[in-house]
Every structure is written in C-alpha cells, then in structure tokens.
A and B are shown apart, each in its own frame.
Chain A
Amino acid sequence: MQSDTVFYVKSHFGGGPAFLQVGHFAERIVTVPQYDLGAMLDRPVPPAGILLTMHADQVHLQRLAPLLERYVDGGGTVVVNGHVARPYLTELTPFVPVARQRPADLQLARVTNHPVFTRIDPADLQSRKGVYGFYGRGANPPPKGATVIHELVGERAPVDWSVRRSTGGRVFSHAGNDLWGVAERPETTARLMAQLLDWVLAP
C-alpha cells in the first residue's frame, strides 16, 4: 500500500525547481531534504515514487541502499537523474560517457515509445539555444530487461531507460541534467513533468 504522494528529494542548497510550485505538482509532490529521506522511507505508508536529482549525495544514498532496495521491492518507483557514480540500487551501474561529443553525436533518438515522453519530440529536448549536451553526454548502463527509451545517436548510448522488478517496483534512469531543466520551451517541460508524475502515480 502506497500513498499517492511523490517525494522530490532535495539535495541542493536554495530553492527547488519552478514546476514544484504549480498547482497539480504542488498537491502531489512533497519536497524532502535528502538527509531526511531515510526516516521518511521508514514509515508504514511509503510514497508512490521518489525523484532524485543530479545533485544527489550518492555516498549517502549508498548508505541507504538496504532501505531503497526494500522500497523498490515493495512496489516503489525511483526516478534517477544524472550520472550514477556510486550505485545504490541493483539496477544501477556507473555512468559511461560517450567518447565523441560533437552536436551530431549528442542528438537524441527515440527507441521505444514511453508514456513519459508521449507527444514530446526528441528535438525539443536534445539542445538548448543550439547547444548540445545538457540532455546527456553518456549513459547509466541499463540492466538486463530494461526498456531503452532514448539513445544518443553517435554511439547509441542508452541515455534514458526504465525497468520493472518482478515485485512491481520500477527504476527510471535519465543520465543527464535534471529532466525539469533540459527543454528549451516551458510548455515542453510542463508536459514532460505532468507525464512523468502520471507515470510515477500509475504503477
């Protein structure tokens, strides 16, 4: 039994991203300071999902690994942003950068349709002001059985993937800057975040 709340795990100093203030998200997403996550997960009713940022303290997450494993085993969803340096879930292995990082190499290709990206053109995500690389410069290698969603075309690096455990829990990995900060247009970010939240809430 899970709540219909999602935790935004705040690992950085200062305010959170703007989308958290918008009505639909403000109702569903609770900001939890990273160092309170252990206590917050160790409650009878866990959240439906947890959103981790590129600024997550992974030494700390590794120390929480048994709790995180139990959370996903129990049906929870973890959304990972950024590079994995110190794996804290069995599905994660350290980030591998692509060797060639010219704009042509960093273009984004959709491999599998996924509800998080419905009606979002990869071209709306792959660059900002003509600069490539914010979306991803490599991949957190996917585990066996993962669905690859997006690749960086140069080396076909699986920059986005998701996987489901037999127990129902899910891990979603985006190996780049936080998903709420990569799109040029605010409409794209709003759609992406709404679809991400729906996906997390609908196991």
Chain B
Amino acid sequence: MNRIAAIDGGTAYHHEALHTERFGRYFDDIVYVLDLHAARFSDYDAIVVTCRTNPALLAPYAARFRHYLADGGMIVAMGETFPEHWLPGMRWRPRPTNYWWWLDPNARSGLTVAAPDHSLFRFLTLADATWHFHGLFTPPEGAVSLIDHEDGGSILYDDRVSTAGRMVVTALDPFYHHGSRFMPNATKFLDGFLPWLRAEVAAR
C-alpha cells in the first residue's frame, strides 16, 4: 500500500508545512482535522498527527486510533498534540519550556542520543532535533527512546511493543516551527524525518 496521511489542523503553519512542495510531497493525503470522520484509517500505512493539532478534536477518535494500531497501523504523534488524550498508554509530564537556553554561551541542551543504531539517525542528527521541547515522555517497557533528556525521560521514542502497530511519539514540534518560518533546525529535522518515515513504510 505504502501510503502516508498527515492530519492538518487548519492553521497557517499547517498550511505552509503541508500544502507546499517541500514537505507536502511526502504525503499521499492531507486530511483536515474537521473532516477526519470521513477518512478511512485503513487506507494508510502511517498517519502523522502534525504539531499542535487540537487534541480535543482527536479525542473522539481514540477508539478508532486504537483499532488502527491493533490492525498494524503506524501513528506519528508530534509535539503539542497531547497524545495522552487520544493514544493508549501515554506517560507524559509537561515542563516549563526554556525558549532561551541557547542564548547562554555555556548552554547545554541536556539532550543525548539514546539509540545511536536506530535507523532514524541515518537520516538526521541530534543537532537537527535540538531547539526546545515542551515536556518529557516516559516510554513504556520495551519501547526504544531515541533521544533522552538528562532530567530523565524521552523527547522522541519508537514503540513497537505496546500494540500490534507502531507509535512514534515526540515532544518536538517541527511542523509548527517550520510552518511559522523560523527555527531552521525544525526544517532540518523534517528534511530527515520524512524521508526516514517513507523508507520505513516502504520497508514494511
């Protein structure tokens, strides 16, 4: 099948990130969030829920997402979508976002690569995933954290054990920042992440 859908929250940044050539070409369908009821999830190998899509609009589909995963589907939950409202087994703690850490010449992001052999790191580097984040996940037993924070917790993990499908969950919000036309690392992140996702889907 080899098909990927992105959910579009309808904002200017979703428009810029999804409806222009640079990243739009990685998706077979863009599904506007208010039209989600008409989408057949089983038409897609992967569904990307893009940054800041309102979780109140996703929560009614929690059961449908669960069935999709049970049937082997793949869901990518991007930053600020609050997946604890619509995906199973999320353990998340928000933390105050330090937008300014990089202004300190001695600053450290606190992020480390937790799974250097993971296929994603053939497509992007830790630097491409470094700007700020909005909280930390505790991945379930058996899931693979890709990027850890020194305070404990993950900002990006890959879970192939909790369901028959696959959940890639991140506290990063690259579609928002790319679509808002600032934060060059967010653009670099998508330059790596989306080709990786296509390769993963093609390899299934």
List A residues at the B interface (Cβ < 8 Å).
Answer: 11-13, 35, 54-60, 82-86, 95, 97, 129-131, 133, 137-138
Are A55 and B181 within 8 A (Cβ)? no
Chain A residue numbers with a CB within 8 Å of B16 are 83, 85
Inter-chain contact B182/A12, CB cutoff 8 Å: no
Identify A86's interface contact among B15, B54, B80, B182, CB under 8 A. B15
Which B residues lie within 8 Å of A85 (CB)? 11-12, 15-16
A115 to B127, CA, bound (A): 44
Shortest Cβ gap from A170 to chain B (Å): 21
Known: A85-B15, A86-B15. A59 touches B34 (CB 8 A): yes
Interface centre among B10, B80, B180 (most CB of A within 10 A): B10
Chain A positions within 8 Å of B10 at CB level: 57-60
**B94, closest chain A residue (CB):** A14
Residues in A with CB closer than 8 Å to B103 are: 129-131
Number of A-B residue pairs having CB atoms within 8 Å of each other in the complex:
57
Q: List A contacts of B52 (CB < 8 A).
A: 12-13, 55
- What string of 1s and 0s marks CB contacts (under 8 Å) between B1-16 and chain A? 0000000111111011
Please list 13 pairs of residues, one from A and one from B, whose beta carbons are closer than 8 Å in the complex, sorted by A's number. A13-B52, A13-B82, A55-B52, A57-B34, A58-B11, A82-B11, A83-B16, A83-B180, A85-B15, A97-B181, A129-B103, A131-B103, A137-B181
- Beta-carbon nearest neighbor of A82 in chain B: B12
A157 to B136, CA, bound (A): 39
Give bound CA distance, A56 to B32, whole Å. Answer: 14
Q: How far is the CA of A17 from the CA of B90 in the complex (A)?
A: 27
* Chain B residue total in the interface (Cβ 8 A): 22
* Distance between Cα atoms of A192 and B52 in the complex (Å): 27
Q: Is the CB of B56 within 8 A of A13?
A: yes
Contact A133 B100 (CB under 8 A): no
Closest chain A CB from B49 CB (angstroms): 13
Residue in B closest to A95 when the chains form the complex, CB atoms: B12
CB-based contact A13/B12 at 8 Å: no
For A12, A59, A95, the residue with the greatest tally of chain B CB atoms inside 10 Å of its CB is A59
The distance in angstroms between the C-alpha atoms of A97 and B180, with both chains bound, is 10
Docked Cα-Cα span, A82 to B182, in Å, equals 13
B15: chain A residues at CB < 8 Å are 58, 85-86
In the bound complex, what is the Cα–Cα distance between A60 and B34 (angstroms)?
A: 8
Task: Give B99 Cβ to nearest chain A Cβ, in Å.
Answer: 9
Digit string of B51-67 for contact with A (CB within 8 Å is 1, else 0)? 01011100000000000
Q: Is the CB of B12 within 8 A of A12?
A: no
- Per a CB cutoff under 8 Å, which of A83, A130, A133 touches B12? A83
Return the CB mask of B94-106 against A: 1 if under 8 Å, else 0.
Answer: 0000001001000
In the complex, the answer to whether A59 meets B12 with C-beta atoms within 8 Å is no
Task: Tell me the bound Cα distance from A55 to B9 in angstroms.
Answer: 9
When distances are taken between beta carbons in the complex, the residues of chain B under 8 Å from A129 are 100, 103
Q: With a CB–CB cut-off of 8 A, which chain B residues contact A86?
A: 15
A-B interface, 9 closest residue pairs, ranked by CB to CB distance from nearest: A57-B10, A85-B15, A59-B10, A83-B12, A85-B12, A13-B54, A59-B32, A133-B182, A82-B12
What is the minimal beta-carbon distance from B37 to any residue of chain A, in angstroms?
Answer: 14
CB distance from B7 to the nearest CB of A (A): 12
How far is A60 from B54 in the complex, measured between Cα atoms in Å? Answer: 13
A164 to chain B, nearest CB (A): 24
Contact B11 A57 (CB under 8 A): yes
- Collect the chain B residues with CB atoms within 8 Å of residue A58's CB: 10-12, 15
Which B residues are in CB contact (< 8 Å) with A83? Answer: 12-13, 16, 180-181
CB A59 to nearest CB in B, in angstroms, measures 4
Q: Which chain A residues lie closer than 8 Å to B82 at the CB level? A: 13
| Cα of A90 to Cα of B10 in the assembled complex, Å | 19
